Amino acid sequence: MSCIISIIIPFYNSEKYIKETLKSIQNQSFIDFECILIDDGSTDSSNVIIQDFTRKDSRFKLFLRTENDPKGPSGCRNLGFRESNGSYIQFFDSDDLMHPNHLEKKINAYLNQETDLVICQLIEFDNDDFSKKYGLNKIDDFENLLNHLNGTTDYYLPCPLWKRNVIANDLFPTQTKIYEDLIFNLINRKKCKKVTLLYEPLIYYRRHIDSTTGRVNANKNILQQKILAWNIIYEELKTDVNIHQLKSILFQNSYLNYYYLTLQKSIPLMFFQLKYLFLFSSKSEDYFNMIKLLIYTPITFIFLKGYSLYKLKSTHE
C-alpha cells in the first residue's frame, strides 16, 4: 500500500521511551505516512509496546532484523527502507519526539518549492528541559561538515526528509559503525542541488546516557571503525573542500586515535592508523608531529601513559 512518507525507526531495548516517540508520530497533523519499526534483537518489552500500536493503527508496522542484515542501526535502516513504500523517507530515532506539524511542514516545503532536500532545526532536551534550541542559520554544507568533524558543532545535516529516489542506491554503510549517519548524509547530500532549511525546531532530540551516541568508547573495535570512517569521508570530500583544511582535521583526529591504539597495545591497528596519518599529513607541522609520535610511541607502549607527550604542534593555517 503506497503512502507519501515512510518513517523508519531502528530500535533495541527501547521500552523506556518508545511509547512517547510513537505517540508523537501518531499525533502528526499530516496523516498519510507509514511507520516502519525494525527490532535489532530487543530483550525487553519494546515489542509488546509496539504491537499495541500495530494492532490499533495499520500505519505502524513491526519487522525483525534478519540474519542477512548486519546488526546495528545501519543494517536495520537499510532493511526498513526495503520494506517501505513511501515516496519520501524520514529516518528517526526511537527516543526522540516529533513536533505535531513536523511532517506537514516538511512535505509542504517539497510541494510548494522546487527543492531536492528539506531539513529543519531541532531542540535538545533532557527529561523536561526543552530549553536548548539547535539549528543551522544558513546552509553552507561543507563548512558545516568540517565544523562537525572538528568538534565545534554537533550536527551536520539535521533531520533530513529524503526523496526516495535520491537515496535508493546509496543506503547506510555497514562496514563501519562510526559516523554512519554522517557518511550516508554526505554521499546523498552531494546529489541535491537545492536544500530547503525550515527555520523552526520540528524535532525534539533526547539527550541522555542511554543514547546510542553515548556508548562510544576507546576499545579496539571502535578505534578501527573510526579509521575506516575517516578514510571514507576523505575520499568523498577531497575534491569538494579545502584539502589542507580537511587533512588537518582528519590528521588531528587520527593522531589522537593512534595514542589510544598505543594504550591498547594494538600493533596491527597502530600500523593501519599510521598509513592514514601519512595520508592526512600536508604541512611541515604535521611531519614534525609524526616524528614526535614515532619517538614517544615506545614510552606510551611500555608505561601506558604519556598523553602530554603527544600534544600537537599547531596545525592551524
Q: What is the pLDDT of residues 222-273, one digit of tens each?
A: 777 888 888 888 888 888 877 888 888 888 888 777 777 777 777 888 878 8
pTM summary value: 0.81
CB 117 within 8 A of CB 106: no
Residue at 171: amino acid letter: L
Angstrom CA distances, 282 to 16, 114, 226, 241, 250, stand at 48, 40, 20, 14, 11
Give 53's contacts (C-beta < 8 A, 6+ positions apart).
22, 26, 60
- Per-position DSSP letters for 15-64, written without gaps between them: TTTHHHHHHHHHT-S---EEEEEEESS--SSHHHHHHHHHHH-TTEEEEE
What is the pLDDT at residue 73? 95
What is the pLDDT at residue 158? 82
What is the pLDDT at residue 316? 46
User: Which position has the higher pLDDT, 269 or 214?
Assistant: 269
**Rounded average pLDDT over 120-129:** 81
Q: What is the pLDDT of residues 45-67, one digit of tens each?
A: 999 999 999 999 999 999 999 88
Residue at 103: amino acid letter: L
Beta bridge partners of 37: 9, 62
Query: Above pLDDT 90, what percent of the chain?
Result: 45
Give dist(CA 9, CA 312) in Å, integer. Answer: 41
Neighbours of 69 (CB within 10 A): 20
Q: By mean pLDDT, which of 71-75, 116-120, 183-187 is the weakest? A: 183-187
Give dist(CA 66, CA 242) in Å, integer. Answer: 42
Triad 4, 5, 6: Cα angle to 5°: 130
What is the pLDDT at residue 252? 80
CB 91 within 8 A of CB 77: yes
Give dist(CA 271, CA 169) in Å, integer. Answer: 33
Give dist(CA 261, CA 273) in Å, integer. Answer: 9
Neighbours of 105 (CB within 10 A): 18
Give dist(CA 44, CA 46) in Å, integer. Answer: 6
For residue 310, with 0-12 CB atoms within 10 Å meaning exposed, 13-18 middle and 19 or more buried, which class applies?
middle
What is the pLDDT at residue 227? 83
Per-residue DSSP letter, 70: P
**Rounded average pLDDT over 186-190:** 89
All domains in the chain, ordered by first residue: 5-215 (3.90.550.10), 220-310 (no CATH)
Triad 176, 95, 83: Cα angle to 5°: 60
User: Which position has the higher pLDDT, 182 or 256?
Assistant: 182
What is the pLDDT at residue 262? 78
User: Which position has the higher pLDDT, 34 or 248?
Assistant: 34
Triad 148, 204, 206: Cα angle to 5°: 75
